[in-house]
Amino acid sequence: MKILIAYESKGGTTERLARAIGAAAGGQGDEVQVAAMKDVTPEMATAADLLFAGTWVQGFFFLGVGPAHAAGRFLESLPELQGKPCAVFCTFALNPRGTLASMRRSLEGKGAKVVGAQAFGRRGGAQGAESFTSAVVAAAK
């Protein structure tokens, strides 16, 4: 299976998590590509059998909390995904609030089938990345 992990990272936390997800998926024998959202082309998203999309949580306590603006633009720019399995993840400092739900709605609006979603606390590192990845890959097959 070809897996694309697209991420938006501000301080490196989300990138490290994306790479941990990539390592977990690659360890299962899948072909994995990890890339910053700004470097992902529509063709890359279309060619993948499974798409992970991850972002840091932007906002302040209760005001404007959600996916980073660049991640929102990336999700809006995706081509029609025609039932493609996708998963969303985010990294947060205090509370992710509706970040995952917002990302899910964006992908479902493109015709994707969201098979997994998980928020990771910034201080937890990549703890839980392997089990999240295994569950998503199994659901996508």
Task: Give the confidence band of 84 by pLDDT, cuts at 50, 70, 90.
Answer: very high
Task: Give the confidence band of 61 by pLDDT, cuts at 50, 70, 90.
Answer: low
**pLDDT single digits (tens) 109-120:** 999 999 999 999
In this structure, what CATH number is given to the domain that contains residue 87? 3.40.50.360
Total domain count, the chain: 1
Alpha carbons 45 and 78: distance in angstroms, whole number? 7
DSSP annotation of 79: -
> Which residue range(s) make up the domain with 94?
2-140
In the predicted model, is pLDDT for residue 26 greater than 70? yes
Closest listed residue to residue 21, CA positions, set 63, 50, 42, 46 = 50
3 state SS of 102 = helix
